[in-house]
Structure 1
Amino acid sequence: MSAWLLHAGAFALMLGVLIVVHELGHYSAARLLGVKVLRFSVGFGRGIWSRRFGRDGTEWVIGVFPLGGYVKMLDEEEACVLPEELARSFNRQSVWRRVAIVLAGPCANLLLAVLLYWGLFFYGVEEFKPILARPAIQTAAFAAGVENGDRVIKVGGVPVLSWQEFHWELLRQAVKGDVVELETVGLATVVSIRRLLDVSAARGNGLEGDFIERLGLAPYRPEVPAVVGAIGKGSPAEVAGLLPGDRILAIGGLEIAAWSDAVNVVRNSPGKRLNVDIERQGARRQLVIEPAVVPGTGGSIGRIGAAVAEDSQVRDLLMVKISYGAVGSVAKAIQETWEKSIFSVVMIGKMLTGEVSWRNISGPVTIADYAGQSAKLGLTKYVAFLALVSVSLGVLNLLPVPVLDGGHLLYYSVEIVRGKPLSERSREIGQRIGLAILAMLMTLAFYNDINRLIPG
């Protein structure tokens, strides 16, 4: 499967699951409270597929434009309603029932995130340990005294077991202040050392992009032999004839002593034809490989689609499997969903005040790219990304912006206070404002997507 098909398929599946779950939340609440549902649509515009099911003959539709969906309920404000069905009309329900129906959509997305995280934590997720490489001079990590092989055990007093947990907790702490305390231990010692990491440079840049890399933090990479393991189908390595078990001896005349040497040469040679000397079954051979050009931090990098052969000792040193059991995973999943929800709200607030860059907003192109990348890394990575986007979708829909679920909840809150609904004119103005805000956000998201595709 070509790369773009994988990315498109992963994105379409993710979008379909999230939209269906969200709209099922609205649909289920409406049915439970006795409101008649006329249409359940995944996507907007002309339907490319439709069927009618159920006692009420609800029309189930797939629209031509897949970025969203809706549940259309019986409502006097949209069409005439037969006298015998007035009690099942949405507008005739109490304000609290309408709140419950609207709230059910975002809650369904958050519940989905909890279920997905529960499955991940119960099954067990294999992650890289938070072991740091030697930082470059004149970086925040170097100034903090980070040494090669330091394993982070706490960030701001919070224990971390994996690189992902370390990355997440450091980002969360960096939003709060300019200095974050890291507690580390060396590879050959159990004595912990507290290091004060100045994150002000990353904060000053609005936490844009890979802020960890700008701080001088990178995963520890032990020196391992340059022996080839898995090779991607259709990759430059496969096209050139590289095979698993081949040992790379030299690239472009440069001697290769370890896998990291090979990676560095390839990364710095995007699109260049390289003479690669290998050892295969005791014989020396030469291949010609042209690394693919892929976007990277600060410009394009080369990639040939080959992985290093696994070494059990190195794997044990670098990897950890995290599992919390059936019961413990419930609490951990709820905690994970809650923390990411709160963090999303905090980040939105920081964007409004200018403390966090608006370039952090991603559009469908970037999300599709991340979906494809996570799918390449395996099912657990894809499920984790799906859970994260589900949290984001749930929080986004709760924002008090007209046309979003949160906008309707805002109207109902005003109705509860006033004792009567807002006028039709007020709601119409609100709809226009909401559409304008969404249009600006979508334009900004697409602009950021284009900027990411065109480095520099």
Structure 2
Amino acid sequence: MNLITTALAFLLALGPLIIFHELGHYVVARLCGVKVLRFSVGMGKIVWSRRFGPDQTEWAVSALPLGGYVKMLDLRDPDAPGMTEADLRREFTHQSVWRRIAIVAAGPLANFLLAILVYTGLSMYGTVEPSTRLRAPAEASAAYTAGLRGGEHVVAVNGNAVAAWGDLRWELIQAIVDKRDARLDVRQAEGGQFVAILPARALAGLDVDGDVLTKLGLDLWRPKAVVEQVIAAGPGARAGLQPRDVVTAIDGKPVTDGVALVEAVRASAGRPIALEGLRGGAPFTLTVAPEFDPARKAWVIKVLTSMAPETVTVSSGPLEAFEKAVRKTWDTSVMSVKMIGKMVTGEVSLKNVTGPITIADYAGQTARMGAPVFLGFIAFISISLGVMNLLPIPVLDGGHLLYYSLEVLTGRPLPERIGAFAQRAGIGLLVLLMALAVFNDVARLL
């Protein structure tokens, strides 16, 4: 079932984005007076088509469900029909260079617009996310060195307000990419405030695709280790643990929350452990002998405790939501360009290049988390698709925009032989990038 869900989520995420991209080209082409011969959803052999409108544009569905294209009246097309003088006025290459730029740029811009609309809707609807309240960090961590001790809320990073855990992670990734300190404005549980600085040297070398916050010692705050359920005949039940007991220490070491309780039990390797806690406000002590659970491949005492982090509902009014969406789309685009630049210069590993397998995996995971998370993923992929298509690589929209920019500067179009050579080089480069992406995808799976 997970495989089916992943496949459907992948098609549902990528398919509409490509259609929206091509609709951008189509709408602006029509506004510029260019005749559109075909709008295809999918690539390859056409399996269904109908003609509509005064131009009898063919709307088609093709065999390969990924991709799509807009076919305009173009003299360079070997299958182009004979053209009258009226047709030539509506032919693509006869348009001014600025109209051609507008038509080509409309696809990526449509992807950015879609992301803005999705982010605006999500912000207005309100999303439930983990709060920025921090768990007590390990003493050897950068977070502990910065003065964080647990229970604090991070309210801003480098002057940018953060309302939820995802915002905090995003701002720290920006600091890593920019190679600068991360200044955390922190509100203490008692009401005071201070600034915790994670220096650039502590951020250097962190993989932005990995669990950045954990490596810095930042983790989600969780409630105390309260026993919610005791499994009958398990080690906890035999030792006398009861529901609503609060475990405060194991073998004399403080237990701050449910995660710490689980970690301590697993680290026992079956050795009997001494539990201290509170029952109805009164202290108690008992000894538990953990047993090995083959299914989990871990030592357990068979009690359930809450490990859910504190959450907040983040929502905004229409204007604020739109402003946030524009800023988030811009920041994500800039971050993507920076990452590409750092991969080109060798500052970031090429392992960060991902392909369809990883996208499908994330699509499946986010779909199982619920509609808001899945829609957020779609918005992110839409931005990535827009940025990718703007890269100055021949055969991509960015390559065509480069041609037309040169035409604006020189006053004449790029010679056909140079354009043809660039097209072949661009196809070769894209094949290499796709091979690298698939290799990285498979390596991650293995």
- The TM tier, using the shorter chain, reads 0.7 to 0.9
1:345 aligned counterpart, secondary structure: helix
Partner of 2:178: 176
Counterparts of 1:48-447 in structure 2, within 5 Å, are 48-78=47-77, 79-83=80-84, 84-187=86-189, 189-200=190-201, 202-225=203-226, 227=228, 247-248=230-231, 259-260=258-259, 264=263, 291=295, 318-447=310-439
In structure 2, give the amino acid aligned to 1:168. Answer: W
Q: Is the Cα–Cα contact under 8 Å of residues 223 and 258 in structure 2 kept in the other structure?
A: no
Determine helix, strand or coil for the equivalent of 1:204: coil
Amino acid at match of 1:339: D
Q: Secondary structure at the match of 2:185?
A: strand
State the alpha-carbon separation in 2 of the partners of residues 252 and 443 from structure 1. 52
Instruction: Spell out the pairing of 1:8-27 with structure 2 (5 A cutoff).
Output: 8-27=7-26
Distance in 2 (alpha carbons) for counterparts of 1:348 and 1:173: 16
Residue pair 1:202, 1:214 contacting (<8 A) in 2 also: no
* Percentage identity across paired residues of the two chains: 46
1:203, 1:355 within 8 Å by CA — same for their partners in 2? no
Structure 1 residue runs without a partner (length 5+): 228-245, 269-287, 294-300
Distance, in Å, in 2 between the alignment partners of 1:262 and 1:50 is 62
Partner of 1:52, secondary structure, is strand
Residues 196 and 126 (structure 1), Cα distance of their counterparts in 2 relative to 1, 3 Å cut: same
Gaps of 5+ in 2: 242-246, 248-256, 268-291
- Name the counterpart of 2:254: none
CA drift of 1:153 comes to 1.2
Q: C-alpha separation between the residues in 2 aligned to 1:186 and 1:250?
A: 42
SS of residue matched to 2:107: helix
What code does the residue aligned with 1:23 have?
A: E
Q: CA RMSD for the aligned pairs?
A: 3.0
TM-score of the superposition, structure 2-length normalised? 0.82
CA contact (8 A) 2:225 2:306 kept: no
Per the TM alignment, residue 37 of structure 1 is displaced from its structure 2 partner at its CA by 1.0
Measure the CA separation in 1 of the matches of 2:370 and 2:327: 24
Once the two structures are superposed, residues 189-212 of structure 1 have per-residue CA deviations (whole angstroms, 9 ceiling, x without a partner) of: 111121121353553245342222
| 2-structure distance, mates of 1:108, 1:184 | 38
Q: Aligned-pair distance for 1:131?
A: 1.6
Q: Deviations over 1:38-85 (max 9, x none)?
A: 111222212233333322222222333333221111101102432141
How far the C-alpha of 1:427 sits from its partner, in A, is 0.7
Q: Give the drift of 1:260.
A: 3.1
State TM-score, norm by structure 1.
0.80
Change in CA separation of 1:338 and 1:248 when aligned onto 2, cut-off 3 Å: farther
Q: Which protein shows a greater Rg?
A: 2
CA distance in 2, matches of 1:365, 1:357: 19
Q: Distance in 2 between matches of 1:345 and 1:444?
A: 18
CA distance in 1, matches of 2:305, 2:73: 60
Distance 1:290 1:94, change over 3 A: farther
Deviates most, 435-444 or 159-168: 435-444
